[in-house]
Structure formats: C-alpha cells, structure tokens
C-alpha cells in the first residue's frame, strides 16, 4: 500500500504536465515529460525524484496501454520504455 501512495505522489507531476490534454496523446506533448521535470527541478524536485517520477510514469503508461489499448494506441511501447531514460545532456541543479 505504501508503494501506491508513493507512486500517486509521483504521478501528480504527470497529471500536472498533461494539464487538460488527454494522456493518450502524451507522446506528442511539448515539452516532453523529462524536459518539463527538468524545468521544475529548480522548484524543489530533486534528481532522484525526477528518476522516480519517470519510472512511475512508465509503469502508468504500461498499465494504461494494456488496459485501454484504443485510448492509448498513439503511445508507442518504445516511447514508454524510454521514459525512464534521463538524457545525458540534462542536469538537475540543486
């Protein structure tokens, strides 16, 4: 149960990033989730949190694509699997 609570806290960032846009189109959002998180890094998100948010988001999209294949048909598995990859060019400044 504790993991669900932790994931919920991380997924709040995913929902904030999406705003009113449908998550089934997330692979087309600008900025990308990782870019958004790095923009937010100066506002209290730490590097470890960014990684955890990306991993939780990846688990969410894997679940969503499995449970709602029509609504999430635009989301490619390769996009989901790359969510937890933090680009080398990115730095989180604490």
Quote the mean pLDDT of the chain.
85
pLDDT tens digits for range 1-40 = 556 567 888 999 999 999 999 999 999 999 999 999 988 8
Structure tokens at 71: 């609504």
Model-level pTM greater than 0.75? yes
Long-range interactions of 27-36: CB distance < 8 A, separation 24+? 27/74, 27/75, 27/76, 27/79, 28/74, 33/57, 33/83, 34/83, 34/86, 34/87, 34/90
């Amino acid at each position: 149960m504790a993991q669900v609570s932790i994931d919920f806290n991380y997924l709040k960032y995913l929902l904030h990033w999406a705003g009113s846009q449908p998550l089934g189109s997330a692979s087309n959002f600008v900025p990308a989730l990782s870019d958004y998180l790095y923009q937010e890094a100066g506002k209290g998100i730490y590097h470890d949190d960014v990684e955890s948010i990306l991993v939780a988001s990846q688990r969410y999209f894997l679940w969503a694509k499995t449970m709602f294949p029509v609504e999430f048909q635009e989301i490619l598995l390769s996009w989901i699997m790359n969510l937890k990859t933090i680009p080398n060019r990115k730095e989180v400044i604490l």
